[in-house]
Amino acid sequence: MLRKQTIRDVDVDGKRVLVRVDFNVPLDRETGQVADDLRIRAAVPTIRYLRDHGAKTILISHLGRPKGVDESLRLAPVAERLTQVLGAPVRYVPEVVGPEVQRAAHGLTPGDVLLLENLRFHPGEERNDPELAKALASLAELYVNDAFGAAHRAHASTEGVAHYLPAVAGFLMEREIEYLSRAVSDPERPYAVITGGAKISGKIDVIRNLLDKMDRLLIGGGMANTFLKARGVQVGDSLVEDDQLATAESIAEEAARRGVTLQLPVDVVIADRFEDGAERRTVRAEEGVPPGWRIMDIGPATVEAFRAHLRDARTVVWNGPMGVFELPSFAEGTRAVARLLAGLDAVTIVGGGETAQAVEETGVADRISHVSTGGGASLEFLEGKALPGIAVLRDREA
């Protein structure tokens, strides 16, 4: 189990604390206001703890993928929403570094909260420029990383700055590490892994890393098409990675060799076009998909097969939707799996990105043990990779 020091392990009273948060939130195109404050709310426990313990809190985050300064991606609306959520004023400085930032940071009093400008306005952020890292570090006496969604990036604000300040985890980061470490190294059994999404190539490393730890592997989404075709099933015009057919076969063989149950779709929802209003029907997978039709979702018999495998599971990890979730006509398989997990007496861990979105939209997020805030970061963690933004944090003594 990966163990890192957190803000509970250090004295923050009266200290300036630089906190990397993940405020990469969607903004409403018309109003410019925050459209979804989930990531803002996720950071509040850490910010509130620091305020309550007399810290002077300096928040830093990126937003979007600007190439230089982009007026539509300033963090002013985020500061406004955080003020509302926190119930306390949040000062915003429209600069990443410089004299104005130094004055604001050094003028803070215990309990104050300051938010700096979008980190990616500065060219040194994504280059992990040591000069930017030093400039950020000069603002504070302690560094806290609470941005799990950016922890797989070796940027100035996630990895570089930790070389110049004592570095610990925030509460959100702590929770991510705790649950994902459990999935990778200490799962309670039976352990089931559900994986989906468009392509097998994006999930191979996760499957291979977890294959010797899991008991059951349930596969849906576009990646299941490749497994089905590898078994000789006709898949019509479905998305298939022909260059991964041998990989699918080898994973199936390795699962069998390790005694891992592999469950592919037994029925699928097919459509004659890739659009919401397309004609659709449900067919048994073994019957094949006719030319001109494509697999868009798992069917009800597959959901029941998954239910049987999950009923007595004690740990379940799910990453990747079961179909073309963004089209309402083909979202039911994904929603059904979300409801399945919500009803289990098990540790349930949902990867970030589309899977987290599905759980939120189905209205069951509060019944999942842990919904990750990081899509790419959670994938890399499950692959067994060391995430730069976590590796640099202080280790906790055993």
Q: Which two tokens stand for residue 191?
A: 């352990």
From the list 91, 134, 199, 394, the catalytic residue is 199
**Residue 82 carries which side chain, given as an amino acid letter?**
L
**Residue 78: what are its φ and ψ, rounded to 5°?**
-70, -45
136: which residues sit within 8 A by CB, 6+ positions away? 18, 60, 97, 156, 157, 161
From the list 353, 374, 375, 389, the catalytic residue is 353
CA–CA dist 271, 268 (Å, integer): 10
CA pseudo-torsion sign 120, 122, 127, 128: negative
Q: Max Cα separation, the chain?
A: 71
Name the residue with tokens 């969607």.
26
253: which residues sit within 8 A by CB, 6+ positions away? none
Catalytic residue check, 199? yes
Catalytic residue check, 51? no
Catalytic residue check, 376? yes
Q: Which two tokens stand for residue 288?
A: 């094949």
CA–CA dist 337, 220 (Å, integer): 10
CA–CA dist 128, 116 (Å, integer): 18
Catalytic residue check, 353? yes
From the list 39, 175, 216, 335, the catalytic residue is 39
Name the residue with tokens 């940027």.
155
Q: Which two tokens stand for residue 291?
A: 């030319």
From the list 288, 314, 376, 385, the catalytic residue is 376
Catalytic residues: 39, 199, 353, 376
